[in-house]
Amino acid sequence: MYVRVCYRVPNMADTTSTVIDTEISYFNNISANWWTDLKALENQNKLRVPYIIKSLVETGKISREKAKNDKPLAGINILDVGCGGGFLSEERKDIQQNVKYIHGTVEKFCEQQKEQFDHVVAAEILDHIQARDLFVKSCVKTLKPGGTYFVSTINRTLRAWLQMILYHEYITGVIPKGTHHWHLFVTPDETRSWLENANCAILTCKGWCQIADGDWKVCDNTTIAYYMIAMKKYEH
């Protein structure tokens, strides 16, 4: 089963909320054009998915043999938090028929769904919310012990601002203006700290690097953007 949590606006007076109302309003306004204006997110699936599958193999959720077939994620319970246009789930044939849509916040969702999922995906969402420590803890609550957590986001560096905001939003227009805000970008150390405080062990951290043709590749440089995979520890 594949569950997607799509954010909608709660009361911003609630300090326990991870949601920023202006971010929700912005993405609601461009939601009709998810698959055109933000197609770059879809293109990153060819990088994300192999590492998601690899983490599931390394933690024993799927076998190496299953990882090689055409539906490696079939039968795996996955939570995609802040799924946007569903860039990951909509193109995965091994999960399309078992997708469940939920509108709400993960901090409320996790109270009814503790330890229900094998894997959590939080792709390009940390840099659009507040109370990131609460967000991470809530996501981890939904994981079974031994489950894995995939997070990808943008680093808070000058180079990231130059490339992701100045260049992509204001010069080339590849990304709609106003999509990103530098003060919401997240460093790898911050992400690592939140995950470790939520009882997770970090398995890997790699960078996203853009190559000459506008595509992306995995690299060791996390200056602009990165992904991190962690595993929820077993209780002793």
- pLDDT single digits (tens) 147-168: 999 999 999 999 999 999 999 8
- pLDDT single digits (tens) 71-128: 888 888 888 898 776 767 776 655 555 666 778 899 999 999 999 999 999 988 999 9
Conformational region of residue 131, where left means phi above 0, alpha means psi within -120 to 50, and beta covers everything else:
left
Task: Specify whether the CB–CB gap between 24 and 36 falls below 8 A.
Answer: no
The confidence band for 9, taking pLDDT boundaries of 50, 70 and 90, is very low
Beta-strand pair 99-103/200-210:
unpaired
- pLDDT single digits (tens) 188-223: 999 999 999 999 999 999 998 887 656 788 899 999
Nearest to 198 by CA among 137, 150, 142: 137
Nearest to 145 by CA among 56, 75, 231: 231
Average pLDDT over all residues of the chain:
84
